Amino acid sequence: MRSPYTPGVGLEPSYLAGREAVLADYRQRLTSAPLHGKNSLVTGLRGVGKSVLLKHLATEATAAGWIPVVREMTKRSNHEDELIRGLLADMALRLKGVTISRQHQRIGLGERTEKVAEEFDLDHLLRIFDRHPGDKGDKLLQTIKYVSGIATQLKYQGLVLLLDEFQILEDTGGQFSLTLILDAASRLQSSTTCAVHFVLAGLPTLLGKIIEAKPHAERLFPNNLSLGALDATATRQAILEPLKLAGAPDRFAPDLVELLVQETAGYPYFVQYFADVAFSTFEHSPVTRADGENILPEVYAQLDEAFFAGRLYPLTLKERAVTLATAKIPAPFTPTQVVDAVKSFGSDANMGTVQQYLLALQAKNIIYKVRRGAYDYALPLFGRFLLRCLENEDPGVTLRKVGQT
Ligand SMILES: Nc1ncnc2c1ncn2[C@@H]1O[C@H](COP(=O)(O)OP(=O)(O)OP(=O)(O)O)[C@@H](O)[C@H]1O
Ligand SMILES: [Mg+2]
């Protein structure tokens, strides 16, 4: 029998646990909140279920008569033309099959005009984009308005743009992709004729980034959904409901379920990962806590390789050593605590140096600012992973040189 679990990136779980309240709230906003009250942010650590939730928000939007356009931002989106083309292509796809009839001027051939039918495709939207005066921001705004107008003519409520991995967007190298979207959101929310709203999803660094790019941008997104780990009840459901759906409700003994609740701390990716391994490793039924405990070291070794190592190894040696040193202090931590932790490994690092490392680690999405002067890891259960690393690696050797950067 195939495992009913779905560890992965954006993979739809067979049972969506613990998000009923969030979905009900969005459902209500879709019908009753004013346009600007529908704009949302979805933030959370890696693997907490943002992409999956975004798909469900899109489904809610469809059910409420809106046209959702879901798009994931990549580094290429920081190129304005790539970003615009991608958005227009997705909008065209959502309205595929619609034909626009327009008056076509025929000069000097007897009849003055004729009606031509034009497919609503990317080329059509690119023509609309090019035709509008102004800079790229104006053109994009007018094209979105145009699409929303068509949607309204087709009796839809309007357009929802759901943009995932939004923390990747930045204004860089003479390109202003981040500002382009924030300006569009700002100008559209004050429009009385055009119904378009945005849902931006990403790591917790997202909020700081958009405020930095556009002061008071947080006001554009009054609905701030900060996704966290599932509580114990929802975690049990995330483990047990897929088994029921697969026709194997008794496959896991209750004490194994409690072990999984404890080890995963309710983080959806880990729930799927651990439950999948427990399901796939054993053939007997029920699988017990003792079985689970037997394979834990091996499971953690695999998880470290699959999920965490890829984040730690791209760091420079010194960044990695500073990161490892933070394992000794409880998160969220302050720069002063990091200085002390680094010193405890024999380094003479000062505040200035440590601040530089904290900035670098923030830019690489290892940590993020929880509030002024306090940092936490951008990856769930990262502190526990670092403690496992400390058993094999001594950051002291590298750290003693930290002060010399
Ligand atoms: N509510 C949920 N209940 C059960 N499983 C879930 C839930 N949400 C997400 N998952 C599972 O968790 C994993 C991570 O989900 P997803 O990719 O949506 O996270 P994410 O926050 O977008 O991560 P990233 O920051 O890496 O993009 C997937 O394996 C998915 O099946
Ligand atoms: Mg995601």
pLDDT of residue 96: 86
Domain count, the chain: 3
Task: Tell me if 52 CB under 6 Å of ligand 1.
Answer: yes
- Rounded to the nearest whole angstrom, what is the distance from the C-alpha of residue 44 to the centroid of ligand 2? 9
Query: Looking at ligand 1, which atom is closest to the CA of residue 273?
Result: 29
Count other Cβ atoms within 10 Å, centred on residue 147.
Answer: 25
In single-letter form, the type of residue at position 212 comes to: E
pTM of model > 0.85:
yes
CA 62/CA 42 separation, integer angstroms: 18
Task: Let me know whether 278 and 291 are in one domain.
Answer: yes
Q: Which two tokens stand for residue 105?
A: 């001027």
Give the model's pLDDT for residue 102: 64
- Residue 55: which CATH number? 3.40.50.300
Within-domain flag for 112: no
Same domain, 84 and 164: yes
In a domain? residue 1: no
Q: How far is the CA of 49 from the centre of ligand 1 (A)?
A: 3
> What pLDDT, on the 0 to 100 scale, is given for residue 116?
65
Closest among 324, 316, 365, 359 to 341, alpha carbons compared: 324
Name the residue range of residue 169's domain. 20-93+129-226
Q: Are 37 and 224 in contact (CB under 8 A)?
A: no
87 lies in the same domain as 208: yes
The ligand that comes nearest to the alpha carbon of residue 8 is 1
Domain check: are 242 and 266 in the same one?
Answer: yes
Angle between helices 289-303 and 268-281 in degrees, nearest 10: 120
* 162 assigned to some structural domain: yes
Final residue before a domain boundary, out of 226, 241, 256: 226
Residue 13 within a domain: no
Query: How do 66-72 and 158-164 pair as beta strands?
Result: parallel
Burial of 335: CB neighbours in 10 Å, binned 0-12, 13-18, 19+: middle
Asked whether residue 299 falls in the same domain as residue 202, the answer is: no
Last residue of a domain, one of 203, 226, 249: 226
258 lies in the same domain as 307? yes
**For residue 85, is it within any domain?**
yes
Q: Does 253 fall in a domain?
A: yes
What CATH number should be reported for the domain holding residue 331? 1.10.10
CB atoms closer than 10 angstroms to residue 189: 20
Residue 14 lies in a domain: no
Q: Per the domain annotation, does 218 fall within a domain?
A: yes
| Residue 49 beta carbon below 6 angstroms from any ligand 1 atom | yes
d(CA 385, CA 383): 5
Cα(141)–Cα(129) distance, integer angstroms: 9
Are residue 175 and residue 188 in the same domain, yes or no? yes
> Do residues 151 and 40 share a domain?
yes
Q: If you take atom 9 of ligand 1, which residue's CA is the nearest one?
A: 49
* Ligand 1 site, residue 48, Cβ cutoff 6 A: yes
Q: Are residues 56 and 156 in the same domain?
A: yes
Q: Are residues 146 and 267 in the same domain?
A: no
Tens digit of pLDDT per residue, the chain (405 long)?
899 999 999 999 999 999 999 999 999 999 999 888 999 999 999 999 999 999 999 999 999 999 999 999 999 999 999 999 999 999 999 988 777 766 555 555 555 566 667 788 999 999 999 999 999 999 999 999 999 999 999 999 999 999 999 999 999 999 999 999 999 999 998 887 789 999 999 999 898 889 999 988 889 999 999 999 999 999 999 999 999 999 999 999 999 999 999 999 999 999 999 999 999 999 999 999 999 999 999 999 999 998 999 999 899 999 999 999 999 899 999 999 999 999 999 888 899 999 999 999 998 989 999 988 999 999 999 999 999 999 888 787 777 776 554
305 with 326, same domain: the answer is: no
Residue 59: the pLDDT is: 97
Q: Cα(43) to centroid of ligand 1, in Å?
A: 12
Ligand 1 and 201: CB distance under 6 A: no
Q: Is 266 in the pocket of ligand 1 (CB under 6 A)?
A: no
Ligand 2 centroid distance, CA of 115 (Å): 45
> Are residues 25 and 70 part of one domain?
yes
Distance (angstroms) between ligand 1 centre and the Cα of 270 equals 9
Q: Round to whole Å and give the CA distance between 41 and 276.
A: 30
Last residue of a domain, one of 226, 260, 288: 226
